Amino acid sequence: MKIQSYQSYQAFAARAEKFWLKEEAMNSLFWEFSEKKISGLKPQWMGNIFHEKRVIGSALITEASYILISISDRNAIEHLVKYLIQKNIILKGITGPQHEVKNFTKCWNEQNTAFCANVIQSFSVLLSPVKFSLVHSSSKIIKVSNLEWPRVLLWAKAFANESNPKLNQQQTIKLAKQMKEEGQLFVLKNIHGQTEAMGGFGRFTPNASVINMVYVNPEKRKKGVATELTLKLLEYSKASGYKKSILFSDYLVDGNLYKNIGFLEKGLIQEIAFQAMS
């Protein structure tokens, strides 16, 4: 096994994308770092793990010193940990598929005994159904305009506060602005022109849109509005040429709205913080 590091995301992705696509939903966070995105996220380090000239794992280290890892086998993860230790890399945490995160954290802990790992967030990764019900209603989704922005700003703050655990408000507002600027943030309006909910697409993979920022006006909840919005977004995505949609949900108990629509659970993404032991 060997590890190849890259200076540009373009070179990194060109070599790894075929591998990522094997588990497109679970590896979808890697497309967040595309140089085409307005967000301008720039990793500190990017690398692919090779075995017999085949990519068997990918990883990148964010500006926040968190490592993002792909679906990988245990041998690839062990090799990655040894490589990072030799390079004297300091990590503040890890994000990735639950199984890989567990393996990496165990290996990392064996080399760095003076830290403890705390689970910060867990998300269920859901993939849209091949077939879904079309929405026959007079409601419609429209792109968020400057006119709608004050309301969307309030909802973005509420979205951050209501997430489990709470999200950083400023980062959530920044994401909402980026989605608006990219023309990928929408509001759902009913027949009377009332704005009932918002949602959109945070990023795209080659074959899928990633639904994000779904928020329903508290007065309109438990009335089927979230289902209607999601189905409208699926229709829009499909009409835009994407075969499927991916969604990250922090609702990890029975009765998940998206599972009721027909979304299939592909796995769990976890974020773990590495903290020095006192």
User: Would you list the domain boundaries of the chain?
Assistant: 2-125+269-276, 140-262
Q: Is 82 helix (H, G, I), strand (E, B) or coil?
A: helix
In this predicted structure, what is the pLDDT of residue 40? 59
In this predicted structure, what is the pLDDT of residue 252? 62
Architecture of domain 2-125+269-276: 3-Layer(aba) Sandwich (3.40)
In this predicted structure, what is the pLDDT of residue 111? 77
Give whole-number Cα distances, 180 to 133, 215, 259, in Å. Answer: 27, 15, 27
In this predicted structure, what is the pLDDT of residue 263? 93
Neighbouring C-alpha atoms within 13 Å toward the C-beta of 205:
24
In this predicted structure, what is the pLDDT of residue 138? 80
Sheet holding 244-249, edge to edge: 2-6, 45-51, 54-61, 66-69, 93-97, 264-276, 115-127, 244-249, 208-216, 195-204, 185-189, 140-143
Q: What is the pLDDT along the chain (278 residues), one digit of tens a residue?
A: 999 999 999 999 999 999 999 999 999 999 998 866 555 578 999 999 999 999 999 999 999 999 999 999 999 999 999 999 999 999 999 999 999 999 999 999 887 766 778 888 899 999 998 887 776 678 899 999 999 999 999 999 999 999 878 888 999 999 999 999 999 999 999 988 999 999 999 999 999 999 999 999 999 988 889 999 999 999 999 999 999 999 998 876 665 788 888 899 999 999 999 987 66
In this predicted structure, what is the pLDDT of residue 36? 62
* Domain 140-262: CATH superfamily, name plus number: Gcn5-related N-acetyltransferase (GNAT) (3.40.630.30)
